[in-house]
Amino acid sequence: MKMKLKTKKGVAKRFKFSKKGKIKFAPCGKSHLATNKKTKKIRRLRKEEVITGSREIMYLKRMLPYG
Total tally of structural domains belonging to the chain: 1
Give the other-Cβ count within 10 Å of 45's Cβ.
16
Residue 2 belongs to a domain: no
**Higher per-residue pLDDT: 1 or 41:** 41
pTM score, whole prediction? 0.74
pLDDT for the residue numbered 11: 93
Instruction: Give the model confidence (pLDDT) of 9-48 as tens digits.
Output: 999 999 999 898 899 999 988 888 888 999 999 999 999 9
Domain limits at 15? 9-28+36-63
Specify the long-range contacts of residues 11-20, CB closer than 8 Å, at least 24 apart. Answer: 11/60, 11/63, 11/64, 12/64, 12/67, 15/51, 15/60, 15/64, 15/67, 16/67, 17/64, 17/67, 18/50
Q: What is the pLDDT of residue 31?
A: 85
Residue 15's CB is within 10 A of a number of other CB atoms, namely: 18
pLDDT higher than threshold 90 for residue 7: yes
